[in-house]
Amino acid sequence: MKKSLRTSLAALAALAAAVMLPTLALAQTHAAHEHGKVAVDIAVEREQLTIGIDTPLDNLLGFERAPRSAAEKQAADAAVARLRAADGWLRIDPQAGCQLQAVTLESGALGLGGAPAEGEHADLEGSVTYRCTDATRAAWIDVGLADAFKRVKVLQVQVAGPQGQAKQTLSGKNRRVVLAK
């Protein structure tokens, strides 16, 4: 019995290894680049809520290099403006009393600082900071990136909050990150 339980545990570990290795090794590195997918990191502290995003530029623009034509430049400017207006695609539980404080965007290809674009697979990283009366009271955050940018299909969300850490995957019509366990 003992041996069979041990064997089961080992099999479980092996299964986990086999299934998770290809995806997670990528998911955990900085440069994970998968079209349609956006990595969203949410950190909750009492007076501050930080939402980080890391996305291939393709999700926002349909191309992922520096814009070449006037039309591409216009599209890039519009996407950046939409991201900067974070209240348009982020909605936080009013219980927390949060006010948008700062939005920083980095993308070498778009001339927004950060590492210079290498090849044809440029990314954009962003960080949105909110000042809150008590962010720990927020039970949810709606991340509407898939509404703002039609090419966004899946959000891989990591949450670090007072109730611990969690992972959520949002796809389809689901926009809500649940913070309260």
Dist. CA 129–CA 102, nearest whole Å: 5
- Both tokens assigned to 38: 């956006």
Compute the least distance from the CB of residue 76 to another protein, in Å: 24
Cα torsion through 168, 172, 178, 181, rounded to 10: -60
Report if residue 25 touches another protein, rule: CB under 8 A.
yes
Please report, as residue ranges, which positions from 34 to 73 form the binding site for another protein (by CB under 8 A): 41, 43-45, 48, 50, 52
Q: Report the amino acid identity of residue 30.
A: H
Report if residue 12 touches another protein, rule: CB under 8 A.
yes
| Residue ranges in the chain assigned as alpha helix (H) | 2-28, 57-61, 70-84, 145-148
Please report, as residue ranges, which positions from 147 to 166 form the binding site for another protein (by CB under 8 A): 158-161, 164-166
The candidate with the shortest Cα–Cα distance to 92, out of 137, 61, 154, is 137
Tell me whether residue 16 or residue 85 sits nearer to another protein (CB atom): 16
Size of site (CB under 8 A) for another protein: 35
Residues near another protein, by CB under 8 A: 2, 5, 9-10, 12-17, 19-21, 24-25, 27-30, 41, 43-45, 48, 50, 52, 158-161, 164-168
